[in-house]
């Protein structure tokens, strides 16, 4: 997956309770984000009750809920 529609990665369990996790959609930024994503994935895999980062921002369900990530600065392709 080159990049999701809102240009933010998906870091979530595909189906709750399945044990199958998705870490995708980094559009070339995965290498520099790798350490933080590793911590986040470890928290998800161990089902940490006190995660280091809030995983809600990167949840897969944000598309079905029509709640893409948005902020002060939007992402797009120049040109």
pLDDT digits (tens, 9 = 90+) for 25-34: 887 777 788 8
- Closest by CA to 43, choosing from 55, 34, 33, is 55
Contacts of residue 36, defined as CB under 8 A and 6 or more positions apart, other chains included, come to 53
Please state which of the ranges 21-25, 51-55, 70-74 shows the lowest mean pLDDT.
70-74
Is residue 75 pLDDT above 80, yes or no? no
Report the predicted TM-score, pTM, of the whole model to 2 decimal places: 0.73
Judged by DSSP in three states, 9 sits in coil
List the chain domain ranges: 13-62
Residue 72's pLDDT is: 64
Strand boundaries in 1-79, DSSP class E: 10-13, 21-24
Q: Using pLDDT thresholds of 50, 70 and 90, give the confidence band for residue 76.
A: low
Element (H, E) at 10: strand 10-13
């Amino acid at each position: 997956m080159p990049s999701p529609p809102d240009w933010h990665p998906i870091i979530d369990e595909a189906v709750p309770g399945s044990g199958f996790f998705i870490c995708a959609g980094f559009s070339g930024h995965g290498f520099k984000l790798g350490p933080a994503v590793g911590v986040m994935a470890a928290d998800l895999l161990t089902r940490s009750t006190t995660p280091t980062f809030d995983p809600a921002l990167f949840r897969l369900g944000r598309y079905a809920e029509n709640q893409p990530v948005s902020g002060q600065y939007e992402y797009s392709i120049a040109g």
